[in-house]
Amino acid sequence: MEYMTTRYFYPHGIEGEAMDCTYKQFETIEKAIKYANRYNKGMRFAGIQIEEITDNDKLGKLVYEITSDNETIDHR
């Protein structure tokens, strides 16, 4: 199974401005979580979510997330 991360951030580090996001695909949940933990720091960070990718290349359920308050939620 593969996983997709969606990382939300403030481009200029100003909370309240329009957020931007990046997407990245991983082969394992461990690699996706390692990526999420690496990028959950700094003034620009606004959150990150990890979703399963189903067999027909569609996003499935949310399995892991880190909020802007640095709260980790594991939905597995």
- Contact yes or no for 60/53 (Cβ under 8 A): yes
User: Rounded distance, CA 55 to CA 26, Å?
Assistant: 14
User: Rounded distance, CA 25 to CA 72, Å?
Assistant: 20
pLDDT at 39 (0 to 100): 87
Q: Which residues constitute the domain of residue 28? A: 2-74
pLDDT at 42 (0 to 100): 85
- The whole-model pTM stands at 0.88
Q: How many folded domains does the chain comprise?
A: 1
pLDDT, tens only, 8-60 = 999 998 988 999 999 999 999 999 999 999 988 888 999 999 999 987 767 78
Q: Residue 18: beta bridge partners?
A: none
